[in-house]
Structure 1
Amino acid sequence: MGRINIEKLNKAYANRRKLPRSDESPQLRKGDDIIVLKDIDLKISDGEMVCFLGPSGCGKSTLLRIIAGFEDLSSGKVRINGKSVNGPSADHIFVFQHSGLFPWMTVAQNVGLGVRHLSSDGRHKRIGEFLEMVELEGFEQHYPRQLSGGMQRRAELARALAVNPDILIMDEPFSGLDFLTHMKMREEVVNMHAFIQKTILLVTHNIDDALIMGDRVVILGGSPTGVAMDRKLEFPRPRNFEKSPELSRLRSELFLMMGVNYAV
């Protein structure tokens, strides 16, 4: 299960600045806390794909790291399936912006990290299933340096899915990919979600990605950052802006919210 309840989440960082030099050893003193996230309230259903949008530096990645247990909140509550998040867990796997594959391991060895508890035959079968899902069969013995950027991302997805997490958390998973690879990866994630029905949280700067992929889009904004919009996307898939005037209007609305006057 992958139900997430976030209540009155606040995140602040201590503001430390240098005092004027009075000797050879500059000191630091604590100033007012810098509030990054304020009063975030969200309820995410089991099996839902939620895409988070917002300007750079607004705290999207910080929110995901808090949900994943990599970072502490300052106040409020984050519960997954009724239990407070107190650290990372194999039940909610984080896929980072940049490649997290171990370069000294083959693709099969990387994917097999999460299934080491299985027997040799069971591990081999599990690795094969998820490499097939991301269309990397035949590349089991390749090293990350021998793969394209898109193939590395697919290998990371396979490794994350092999653990069989309740929640998959992805921080800008398509950053740095060329246009065609980006489009293919987006389609693969949509198809994968339809197949595995896991809860997926995804940070993106790309409005089209959020509208094509998500069951729901959450826009973060303001200073300090709060939830500016929380919208269910009840459009049939596959989604097409040209064939859906309502989807196109929402697209224009989101661009305006992000400060861009974009005419569809």
Structure 2
Amino acid sequence: MGHIQTENLCREFVNHRKKKDEDGKFLPDEKVSVLEDINIEVEDGEMVCLLGPSGCGKSTLLRIIAGFDKQTSGSILIDGKEITGPSSDNIFVFQHSGLLPWMTVWQNVELGLRNMEEVEEKRVEIQEYIEMVELDGFEDHYPHQLSGGMQRRAELARALAVNPDILIMDEPFSGLDFLTHMKMREEVVNMHQFLGKTILIVTHDIDDALIMGDRVVVFSKRPSQVKMNRKLDFPHPRIVFNKQTELSQLRDELFLMLGVSYAV
């Protein structure tokens, strides 16, 4: 299960930085609208990529869905139930590594299975998840001994070990070198096709969204509204640079929508 639905979801923040009027009197706190009437439906097993200008509220929406934040108005339902807080059914993979530095790769992944009592079954599952992200041979390494891409893969293995219904990823490839970025992107696509989890990904990379997503949702600048909600019915693997294809034409459209007139 992993069906997500937002209905007229809004999120406001209060700017507590005091301002004065012409007479020197403090004005009331200013409210800043970030998300405005967001209506999105994510089907069970879909991978949905969220695009939009920096600061438009994409990460805020992910935190609300994960239960770390609360909307100002509107509702959000997962499998028909209101979100009341964080849940092991919805795992958040942050922008920056969340691995515990004093634990090895094996121990970090084991955290996702800490409630499993059968020792041998746990050992087999830990090894399966480590092999799934191609980190076999690095089980006893600490995070500081791993490259950035390997740390991301270890964090992904730990998240998958929980066996969540929904995997939420906030710019999971940021800071990675070009080749590692592409490799991680390929691994996420393969993992999604194999496991069929519902996945939400915030990205600033249009090519990532088009290559990975079953759907792409584009947000406007703040206060953010949905500008596009497009199903991507294209087979994998996808090539976005062939100018004769519908996918490449959509790529050009997305660049224009996000304020870039020429896409290389």
Same fold by TM (over 0.5)?
yes
CA offset at residue 30 of structure 1? Answer: 4.1
SS at match of 1:18: coil
Q: Which residue of 2 aligns with 1:39?
A: 37
Evaluate the alpha carbon distance shift between residue 123 and residue 29 of structure 1 in structure 2; reply closer, same or farther with a 3 A threshold.
Answer: farther
Q: Which residue of 2 aligns with 1:23?
A: none
> Distance in 2 between the 1:223 and 1:214 partners?
24
Contact 2:51-2:217 at 8 Å conserved across structures: yes
In the alignment, does 2:85 pair up with 1:87? yes
CA offset at residue 32 of structure 1? Answer: 2.9
5 Å-filtered alignment, 1:11-160, equals 11-18=11-18, 30-118=28-116, 119-160=118-159
Contact 2:255-2:263 at 8 Å conserved across structures: no
> Distance in 2 between the 1:57 and 1:99 partners?
21
TM-score (norm 2): 0.95
> Distance in 2 between the 1:172 and 1:29 partners?
37
> Distance in 2 between the 1:152 and 1:222 partners?
32
Contact 2:101-2:144 at 8 Å conserved across structures: yes
Evaluate the alpha carbon distance shift between residue 79 and residue 28 of structure 1 in structure 2; reply closer, same or farther with a 3 A threshold.
Answer: farther
User: Aligned-pair RMSD on alpha carbons?
Assistant: 1.5
1:35-74 Cα shifts (integer Å, max 9, x gaps): 1000000110000000000010000000000000000110
> Distance in 2 between the 1:18 and 1:257 partners?
35
SS at match of 1:208: helix
CA offset at residue 31 of structure 1? Answer: 1.8
CA offset at residue 122 of structure 1? Answer: 1.8
- Extract unaligned runs of 5+ from structure 1: 21-26
CA offset at residue 210 of structure 1? Answer: 0.2
> Distance in 2 between the 1:70 and 1:223 partners?
21
Q: Which residue of 2 aligns with 1:229?
A: 228
1:57-93 Cα shifts (integer Å, max 9, x gaps): 0000000000000001101100000110010000000
TM-score (norm 1): 0.95
Evaluate the alpha carbon distance shift between residue 53 and residue 263 of structure 1 in structure 2; reply closer, same or farther with a 3 A threshold.
Answer: closer
1:131-190 Cα shifts (integer Å, max 9, x gaps): 010000111110000000000000000000000000000000000000000000000000
Q: Which residue of 1 aligns with 2:249?
A: 249
> Distance in 1 between the 2:17 and 2:149 partners?
41
> Distance in 2 between the 1:30 and 1:173 partners?
38
Contact 1:16-1:29 at 8 Å conserved across structures: no
CA offset at residue 19 of structure 1? Answer: 5.4
Q: Which residue of 2 aligns with 1:188?
A: 187
CA offset at residue 28 of structure 1? Answer: 7.9
SS at match of 2:211: helix
CA offset at residue 261 of structure 1? Answer: 1.0
SS at match of 2:30: coil
Q: Which residue of 1 aligns with 2:5?
A: 5
> Distance in 2 between the 1:31 and 1:232 partners?
40
CA offset at residue 223 of structure 1? Answer: 3.3
- Identity percentage over the alignment? 66
> Distance in 1 between the 2:222 and 2:132 partners?
41
Contact 2:129-2:157 at 8 Å conserved across structures: yes
